[in-house]
Amino acid sequence: MQFLEKNRMPLLKQLVLEKVCADIVSNAKEKGIYIDRINGYDEHLHVF
């Protein structure tokens, strides 16, 4: 699954990207959802 910023603006700077990824992983664990990998760049995010 890939998440994109609507206008592909580079909003996910490294610290923000790390926080967003950590929050997604935490939320997934609470719901029993397995995430194999999560990564991205400054305007998009991949979740596998």
Report d(CA 33, CA 30) in Å as an integer: 8
- pLDDT at res. 27: 95
Q: Where are the domains of the chain?
A: 2-47
- pLDDT at res. 14: 80
Coil, helix or strand at residue 19: helix
Q: What's the order of all strands across the beta sheet hosting 38-41? A: 2-4, 44-47, 38-41
Any bridge partners for residue 4, and if so which? 44
Whether the Cβ atoms of residue 37 and residue 21 lie closer than 8 Å to each other: no
pLDDT tens per residue across all 48 residues of the chain: 566 666 777 767 788 888 888 999 999 999 999 999 998 877 778 889
- pLDDT at res. 44: 79
Whether the Cβ atoms of residue 24 and residue 38 lie closer than 8 Å to each other: yes
